[in-house]
């Protein structure tokens, strides 16, 4: 538990328990901070993930770019962002997916873009 | 003896780095952010620190969960820049200050703060996103970085950061060299980066935080993580790091500058204080 933080709606607090559950997934994502590793991953995603002993379920989340599932599984958002960066997605695209929206729908809710869209 | 010139509290965010690197300084969406930093940059140019201590957090670039420090102090003479997953930014590495770094380590530990002492510490957007808005490269002075775990719970309390500021002040006041020091605390104001609440912002809370930081910071030191997260979104718990900056200053401060702008997915806040 994180000081009662776990009761917040729409929020998955990164507790020790989640860090333990998501450890393999997070370790794989951390490796993508290295540009050579990013290239290796893009050449053959499945083979690369296998070297990190990701389960079939974990590999499937990555294959589907299902950020929400990864977060629920104990993925840390800053590490999932490294996966996204490697496959050419932005934080805003990740966020829209996690909210169940298209990027255009999400951007239309942003105050700084009023009048631009 | 060393002398504390003042403190800066600021948001940090990858978006600031992206906008800077894409040269969007004059873009209508980004100009208010960059313009808002100019008075802080002018202040630094005027007071000319020869050392900057920055309290910030690493975002899974130097540290991983195999061994995650609650506090980590960079005592090396040089701090390399991180590749956060999309390539390193085109800036020089930061200079460190080993003599002050080890003095700070001794002083903090004597004051019952026990950081992991790092002779190598790679720097990410926790410092580098805002540094080019405050200083022009080549960086005019060394930086001693102090990283805080605000990611993997349990994380230190707001009160702990506040007290860290007191200990930091004591370390500066007892440093034998004639150094002119600025303390910076960075952390994103309201934002949430994950889940259905992604994109949450609360400008009213952010501005209340800035009011309290200036006039009644002990209230913020007594505020729990759950309240920070409820008011500002989960990842905004980073705001507690501003308290280490504020705790290093006198109980009353003179505000030099304050700015706030919340266009997209986080509130960009900035304050500059001097001892009153």
Q: Is residue B198 one of the residues assigned to a domain?
A: yes
Q: Point out the catalytic residue in the list B12, B59, B125, B259.
A: B125
Give me the total of CB pairs closer than 8 Å, taking one residue from chain A and one from chain B. Answer: 130
Helix axis angle, B14-21 to B31-47, nearest 10°: 90
Query: What's the whole-number average pLDDT of chain B?
Result: 98
Right CATH for A11-88 from 1.10.15.40, 1.10.700.10, 3.40.50.300, 1.10.1040.50: 1.10.700.10
Of B61, B82, B197, Cβ closest to residue A11: B197
Q: Percent of chain B at pLDDT above 70? A: 100
At B261, which CATH number?
3.40.830.10
Query: What is the pLDDT, as a whole number, of residue A4?
Result: 64
pLDDT tens per residue across span B119-173: 999 999 999 999 999 999 999 999 999 999 999 999 999 999 999 999 999 999 9
Min Cα–Cα distance to chain A from B153, Å: 5
Domain assignment of residue B223, given as a range: 24-80+96-275
CB contact under 8 A, A98 and B196: yes
Query: What is the pLDDT, as a whole number, of residue A3?
Result: 56
Q: Is residue B89 one of the residues assigned to a domain?
A: no
Residues 6+ apart with CB under 8 A from B106: none
Q: Please check the confidence at residue A1 and state whether its pLDDT lies above 70.
A: no
In chain A, where are the structural domains located?
Answer: 11-88
Of B152, B194, B199, Cβ closest to residue A106: B199
CA closest to B83 among chain A residues: A33
Min Cα–Cα distance to chain A from B56, Å: 15
| Chain A interface mutation, best of B194, B196, B197, B237, highest count of A Cβ atoms under 10 Å | B194
Parallel/antiparallel/unpaired status of strands B180-186 and B78-79 = unpaired
pLDDT tens per residue across span A30-51: 999 999 999 999 999 999 999 9
Count of structural domains, chain B: 1
ipTM of this complex > 0.85?
Answer: yes
Query: What is the pLDDT, as a whole number, of residue A116?
Result: 62
Q: Which residue has the higher pLDDT, A117 or B40?
A: B40
pLDDT tens per residue across span A49-59: 999 999 999 99
């Amino acid at each position: 538990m994180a000081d009662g933080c776990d009761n917040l709606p729409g929020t998955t607090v990164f507790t020790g328990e989640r860090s333990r559950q998501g450890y393999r997934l997070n370790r794989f994502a951390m490796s993508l901070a290295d540009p050579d590793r990013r290239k290796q991953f893009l050449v053959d995603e499945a083979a690369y993930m296998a070297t990190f002993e990701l389960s079939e379920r974990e590999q499937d989340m990555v294959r589907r770019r299902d950020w929400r599932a990864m977060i629920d599984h104990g993925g840390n958002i800053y590490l999932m962002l490294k996966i996204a960066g490697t496959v050419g997605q932005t934080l805003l695209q990740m966020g829209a997916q996690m909210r169940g929206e298209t990027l255009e729908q999400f951007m239309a809710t942003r105050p700084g873009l009023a009048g631009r869209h | 003896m060393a002398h504390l010139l003042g403190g800066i509290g600021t948001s940090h965010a990858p978006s600031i780095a992206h906008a800077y690197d894409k040269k969007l300084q004059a873009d209508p969406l980004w100009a208010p952010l960059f313009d808002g930093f100019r008075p802080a940059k002018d202040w630094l140019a005027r007071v000319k620190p020869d050392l900057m201590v920055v309290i910030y957090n690493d975002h899974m670039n130097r540290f991983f969960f195999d061994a995650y420090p609650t506090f980590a102090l960079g005592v090396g003479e040089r701090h390399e820049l991180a590749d956060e997953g999309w390539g390193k930014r085109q800036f020089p590495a930061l200079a460190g200050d080993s003599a002050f770094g080890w003095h700070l380590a001794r002083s903090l530990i004597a004051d019952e703060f026990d950081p992991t002492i790092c002779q190598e510490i790679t720097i990410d957007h926790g410092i580098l996103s805002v540094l080019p808005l405050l200083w022009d490269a080549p960086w005019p002075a060394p930086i001693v970085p102090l990283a805080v775990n605000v990611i993997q719970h349990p994380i230190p309390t707001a009160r702990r950061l506040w007290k860290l500021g007191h200990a930091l002040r004591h370390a500066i006041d007892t440093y034998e060299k004639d150094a002119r020091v600025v303390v910076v605390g960075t952390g994103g104001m309201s934002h949430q980066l994950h889940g259905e609440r992604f994109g949450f912002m609360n400008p009213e809370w952010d501005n209340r935080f800035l009011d309290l930081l200036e006039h009644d910071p002990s209230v913020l030191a007594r505020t729990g993580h759950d309240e920070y997260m409820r008011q500002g979104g989960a990842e905004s718990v980073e705001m507690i790091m501003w308290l280490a900056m504020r705790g290093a200053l006198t109980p009353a401060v003179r505000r030099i500058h304050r700015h706030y702008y919340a266009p997209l997915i986080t509130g960009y806040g900035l304050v500059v204080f001097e001892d009153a």
